[in-house]
Structure 1
Amino acid sequence: MNFGAVLRETRGARDLPPPPAFAEPAADLAERARRALYEVSDPEFPISIVDLGLVRDVTADETTGAVTVHVTFTATACPCMDFITWDIRERLLGEDEIREVEIVTVWDPPWTTAAISERGRAHLKSFGVAT
């Protein structure tokens, strides 16, 4: 399946807000990877997976360029899991220093709406979605 085409079709005109303006450059590869994930959206809502609270941890090996992303989903039967993991991998492999991406799905603690950032809540509210 061409996930890229499906994601482009489902997103339509619902653009993500730009990533946050960070005062300092990223300290390391893990932080650069985390910041890149602000450009990966939930396929159903125009919100980044970081703002949605799906990204639980990002680690990286500066020497090998390997990045591990611990991610959760809104439900164990989330129909978007494959789309999101594909999009994470594609986005991170677009970074010059990243050569390998491992995605680890975690379920503990379970995702709740409390994980949504204030920035994410404001953006969802602008689209009429209550959190």
Structure 2
Amino acid sequence: MLTLEAVSTAAIVEALRGIEDPEIGSDIVELGLIYQIEIAAAGRVRVVMTTTTRNCPASAFIVEAVKAKIEQMESVSEASVDLVHDPAWSPEMIGKGFGRSRP
């Protein structure tokens, strides 16, 4: 159910920490896979993210998990996930967290 209180970027980031890359075993925020989070009117959320490789076999699983996790949040009406590979992910992004991983 949608409430008047808007969801925050921090709350979304915290929720996404519960999603692990199944091949690496670390959460997607810690890995630096989340590039951008946009929150629009009426509880619409858009996430721009990447995977560790362009042909990551877990891409569909991770994208669907991100979408589902965000749509479970009380103030969210809809979530979309854009998977990008520019810039490409690199191990140097690990541990930089959300907002600092994108070169």
Distance 1:28 1:105 in 2: 22
Deviations 1:86-110 (A, max 9, x none): 1101111111011111101121111
* Greater percentage in helix: 1
Which residue of 1 is the match for residue 3 of structure 2?
A: none
Task: Please list every run of 5 or more consecutive structure 2 residues that lacks an aligned counterpart in the other structure.
Answer: 1-5, 98-103
CA-based RMSD = 1.9
Which residue of 1 is the match for residue 57 of structure 2?
A: 79
Structure exhibiting the larger radius of gyration computed from Cα positions = 1
Say whether the 8 Å CA contact 1:31–1:58 is kept in structure 2: no
Deviations 1:53-103 (A, max 9, x none): 110111101x31111000011111110000001110111111101111110
Task: Please list every run of 5 or more consecutive structure 1 residues that lacks an aligned counterpart in the other structure.
Answer: 1-26, 120-131
Change in 2 beyond 3 A, CA 1:28/1:87: closer
Aligned residues: 92
Distance 2:71 2:7 in 1: 16
TM-score, reference length from structure 1: 0.64
Segments of 4+ in structure 1 off by > 6 A? none
Specify which of 23, 41, 62 is matched with residue 20 of structure 2. 41
TM-score, reference length from structure 2: 0.81
